[in-house]
Amino acid sequence: MDLQLSGRVAVVTGASKGIGLAVARTLAEEGAHVVAVSRRRTDALPGEVVHVAADLMDPQEHARVVGRAVAEFGGLDILVNNAGGPPPGVTLPRVGFMAPDDEDWRAMFEFNLFSVVRMIRAAVPVMLERGGGSIVNLSSTMARQPGAMNVDYAAAKAAVSHVSKAVAEEYGPRGVRVNTLTPGAVLTDWWTRPGGAAEVMGAMVGATKEDVVTKVAPEMLRMVTGRLVDPQEIADAVALLASPRSGSTTGAELVIDGGQLKEL
């Protein structure tokens, strides 16, 4: 299937690893001009991808990123708000409502919500100049399943889902589509890095990191596939949502979670 992405200009945040890296690679393979945003460049990015080093917790950086896309390629057609998760220096999972203090909440919302809001705010006027565009915001199944674990992160992602629908409603008539992609647990370094979620969870339940990734986490999360999601599976869905082939899809939520969410 031709996704009709050739020559389109895309900005992907959090693009140095995991989902973001897979998205940047996939859009580039489909012929898009990709601006990859992260604190540091990785050699894993394709050579034709333009990297912009930026800290998206800095309110001044979002307009600079979009400006770079315009300077390099003349405009912006696609925005993928993937950056998120634990703010720098924070380790998740974190259990209990009382665990995060005010500063933890501020940092979590700054990274996972306000950076998304600011990127959209910078991107929409540029997209409107070109007659429209596509925004894909990454949320989380935690936004749909409130609980004691990572409550601040889940609340921020729930807000992302709300913002996505609000912006889709306002700008859909002017050609800007906005959709949310909601992953479940994805096999990224969020889980596998030293001191990451797999080790933290393993210490809680008395399991090795490897057992957490391959067995404990999928079982605890009730993933009917029995495994964590592959980042490429998320990237493929992002590419479809970004494509004109999804021209009637806006204000929607696509869940890719290995069957975790069971609610109607």
Set 73, 153, 171, 191: catalytic member: 153
Domain identity same for 107 and 139: yes
Q: Give the separation between CA 34 and CA 161, rounded to whole angstroms.
A: 24
Domain identity same for 210 and 95: no
Structure tokens of 134?
């596509």
Number of domains in the chain: 2
Residue 2 domain-assigned? no
pLDDT tens for 240-249 read 999 999 999 9
Domain identity same for 78 and 88: yes
Residue 95, Cβ density class (10 Å: 0-12 exposed, 13-18 middle, ≥19 buried)? middle
| Number of Cα atoms under 13 Å in the Cβ half of residue 124 | 18
**Residue 171 annotated among the catalytic residues of the structure:** no
Domain identity same for 106 and 193: no
Question: What CATH code is carried by the domain that includes residue 239?
Answer: 3.40.50.720
Structure tokens of 198?
């797999």
Domain identity same for 39 and 155: yes
DSSP 93: -
- What domain range includes position 192? 187-228
Q: How much is the pTM? A: 0.96
**To which H or E segment does residue 103 belong?**
helix 102-109
Residue 50, helix vs strand vs coil: strand
**To which H or E segment does residue 64 belong?**
helix 61-73
Residue 168 domain-assigned? yes
Domain identity same for 245 and 199: no
pLDDT tens for 81-122 read 999 999 988 888 899 999 999 999 999 999 999 999 999 999
Domain identity same for 43 and 133: yes
Q: Give the separation between CA 163 and CA 92, rounded to whole angstroms.
A: 24
Residue 147 domain-assigned? yes
The stretches in the chain having pLDDT less than 70 are: none
